[in-house]
Structure 1
Amino acid sequence: MELYGAIEAGGTKFLCAVGTGPGDLRAVVRIPTTTPEETLGRVVAFFRGFRSELRAIGVGAFGPLDLNPNSPAFGTIPTTPKPGWSGVNLLKPLQEAFRIPIRLETDVNAAALGEGCWGAAQGLETFVYLTVGTGIGGGAIVHGRLLHGALHPEMGHIRIPHDRERDPFPGVCPFHGDCLEGLASGPALEARWGQSPESLPEDHPGWELEAEYLALGLIDILCVLVPERIILGGGVMQNRSLFPRIRWWVKELLKGYLPAPVLRGDLDDYIVPPALGDQAGLLGALALAMDKAPLG
């Protein structure tokens, strides 16, 4: 039987699996992200158990990443706050161990692909997947193709209005301070309020500020791409009370501009959680392996 491998490579864990689709995702293993040598060694060891059946492996990874196949650093993480991982090539150990196609994408582009193939964006040609968790990142499919430019999208680092009198919090991004990620990621919530997002009660005023900041970021993305749907995933979005707040703020900030039919009404079907839940990234990596990812 032909099988495909999937790797969701994150800063805290690597999820690995083999299968043929959402209904056939087997042997899922969680590998803590420690040193590159140990982590990637365990990944290779896992897939060796399926060597005779594997046809390809897809990798959705934290970044930034060099995704240019013509670059000598293709497959490398150029720089990252994760200690020891700057300059690491994610593809090389897999390519050396397996003589099969190894396909690489950002974790958020992979999640977008998964939702397009099997989730909340099926049948759509232009949509955005934004994850709000330890960081904020966005992937996009535009006219049916994964969006790439000179690099991959970095939606978490767009700049949004920040009223420092109302919110004196400086932000947590080591590069920009108060970019979207600096103000609205999970670590930003914890640093601002002194407790983890999971422990903040739903009526805490921090959630309204969080919804406003996320809506400001979505407005920027919306005005550039005008996607047919926006999917919001990640740990922070486990607080489902954020969705109606964000939808309200988006309507309020748009002021009736962009008269697209999808932006009428209450936006319940426009700004949505991932239908694949926390498996969007892993299934997106599987879709990469199955070569379901036309590139821009």
Structure 2
Amino acid sequence: MRHGRNRFIVSFLAAPVAIYLIFVIWPYVQAIGLSMTDWSGLTPTQDFTGFANYIRLAHDPVFWLSLWHNVILLIVLPLITLTLGLFFAFMINVGGRKRKNQTVAGVRGSKLYQVVYFFPQVLSITVIAVLWGAIYNPNNGALNSGLRAIGIPSTISWLSDPKLALGCVIAVMVWWQVGFYVVLFSAGMSAIPDEIYEAVLLDGANRFTTFFKITFPLIWDTIQTGWVYLGIIAMDGFAIVQIMTNGPGGPDGATTVVPFYLWDSAFNHGQAGYGISMGVAMLIVTLLFAVLTLRFSRRERIEF
């Protein structure tokens, strides 16, 4: 009987596992092999060069600068996005005043706020990059025009100033992502029984205490997942940099990230093998980030 059950399970898993191995794992294996060649990406010929690309990578200042920009994104993007997402979700679900027959409620108009916050997720990243590129335009962009409208003379070149350009990219990525986490955290908070909040409120707890003693611990698993997902997004950033920034990747490499440098090396300079080695390096860094995040953010599960 057990043998028959195992065959039944294998018959269902064989096709999905085979597809996964062929279309996911095998391309990774091929990429590792190609990263050890001098393939230009334009010709079928490729000579094995061993670890030459990785040695070059270790001494490439542009790569390390690009990686540093990704690290900044990795730290700042999840921190700001998750903080805003938690704050907005808490106010939408728990932060309102008591109403008739409702001890726990969100602020008035909470359903509308959810739609407004989630709206950027409906737009493609290309539309977002073009839209914000126009907003940051120093001459007739909405940002400088708005500052001038309130009496602040402004001709700031947001995307042309090396000190501001990366911050502008991060701001756009936060605006793009925060709505998704508002909805995600709202779903987590709505699963918390109202009786828990009612008991805490009867004890005289304020919003600050309610959030840090009740809400935050009970949705910790959701926050942990969000941190990993945002970290993976932070290790990318290619589309926004390629479409929105000057150069692109400028000014003076101020917004260059590793995926953009990979694309530039492989497709603009005919160094596909070298570009693929960057991809393999990013794969290792991303996997390490995910493993370390899940390892050090692990805590005892709270049941409710």
TM-score greater than 0.5 by the shorter chain = no
**TM-score interval, normalised by the smaller of the two chains:** under 0.3
Which structure is larger by alpha-carbon Rg, 1 or 2? Answer: 2
The answer to which structure, 1 or 2, has the higher relative contact order (CA under 8 A, 6+ apart) is 2
